[in-house]
Structure 1
Amino acid sequence: MSKVHETSYTGYDGDKSEIYDQARHRFDPAQLDFIRNKLTKKENLNVVEMGAGTGLFSKALLADPK
């Protein structure tokens, strides 16, 4: 296994990831509903979240809105 670069490692140590999760942008439910309604396939989706890397948009999109 390769060593994680020191800058990357220290960027998420301590409570920084929790602070990021609390302060980050939240996705508008209406926007997520619009995208969900445009999907023709509702099961076994393969979602690629390009450029973000956190996976939070994919989780919000695939979450059950009910």
Structure 2
Amino acid sequence: MKLISIKRRTRTERRYTQKMGVLYTDVTYIKKSLLGIPFKTMHKYRGTYYGKIKGCEDCVLAN
């Protein structure tokens, strides 16, 4: 059993951008976990309709 592992998880989220408005997209989180308990999000990104990969810093979470 590993002490530290890295897991990737994809979930659908509702985002908001200035140009497109409300956007439902798949967001992938890469998390570091210690003994199966996640403690740090290393990176999160989303894929666009055209296949490009973008970071989540350019879009704001919708409330």
TM-score of the alignment, normalized to the shorter chain, above 0.5? no
TM-score (norm 2): 0.20
More strand by share: 2
Q: For the pair shown, which has the larger CA radius of gyration, 1 or 2?
A: 1
TM-score (norm 1): 0.20
More helix by share: 1
